[in-house]
Amino acid sequence: MDTHHPHAGSTPFLILAHPGHELRLFHWMERMRPRVFLLTDGSGGAALPRTHYSAATIAAAGASAGGLFGWKPDKAWYAALLSGDAAPFAEALDCIEAEAGELRPQLLVTDAVDGYNPMHDLCAALGAALRYRLAAAGAPVQHLVSMAVDSQDPPPPAERLHLSPQAARRKQGAVADYTPLADETCALLTLRPDALEVEVLRQPNFAWAADWTPLWEAIGRERVATGLYPDAISYARHVRPIALSLGAVAGLKLPRLLGHI
């Protein structure tokens, strides 16, 4: 645990949509020793689960896995989205809140809304709802986000961690050991050569406006056109209503969902 961090003395919660996202914050995990939660198992459309790679990564960083860790296959989450079923998301919120009641985290870190994948976006909504649930129970916490993928309009930075050469080498080793993500890692390092040297936590600022069009909508339509998927998820019909329902589950109204205490 980083004794100089303002949240030292408690166990932060790191809540991510997919296994592998924790690599972005490997050195932060080394310093803060968070409890890590994964919504999906990373199996995608046809691949095998990759949670065991994440378990090894988390252990190498000295962090720990939460009770909700690769909880449901990706296909199950996307089926829930297409049917407008918010229950799995509400249940995940309940499970993580139960552990928060025991460990009393002062910091929640989640994926950011990035428009690249609907599960990334809803992970951010889940974190915002959890933050306010805990605050309503008398345990206010800070909620920050981490970009799982690069975005043209990222939220403003809140904390920036510059890795030493030794820390960068440890992170590079963890990345190299995560073989299912080798192609993605290569592409990222080509685009962002400094990705192994700097880790950034950001202030969530997405307002869940009704007229947003995420990139993943176009990707979904392309996959439906090729016959890969029978139907496409949309922001207006599927994702935004579930995000709003998470606010309702937490006893909130939308304008307060991403506001500040």
* HSE-CB for 115 with a 13 A CA cutoff: 14
CATH 3.40.50.150 is right for the domain spanning 13-257: no
What angle separates helix 240-249 from helix 118-136, to the nearest 10 degrees? 10
Q: pLDDT means per 10 residues in the chain (261 residues)?
A: 67 97 96 98 85 97 97 93 96 97 96 95 96 91 94 90 96 92 74 81 93 92 81 94 86 50 35
Burial (CB count within 10 angstroms: exposed 0-12, middle 13-18, buried 19+), residue 219: middle
Rounded to two decimals, what is the model's pTM?
A: 0.92
Strand 35-40 relative to strand 13-16, pairing: parallel
Q: Hunting for tokens 């920036």 — which residue is that? A: 160
Domain segments of the chain: what residues? 13-257
Backbone φ/ψ region at 35: left (φ over 0), alpha (ψ -120 to 50), beta: beta
Tell me the residue type at 118. P
Contact, 107 vs 144, CB < 8 A? yes
Contact, 61 vs 31, CB < 8 A? no
pLDDT on residue 70: 95
pLDDT on residue 160: 96
pLDDT on residue 184: 76
Task: Tell me 207's DSSP state.
Answer: -
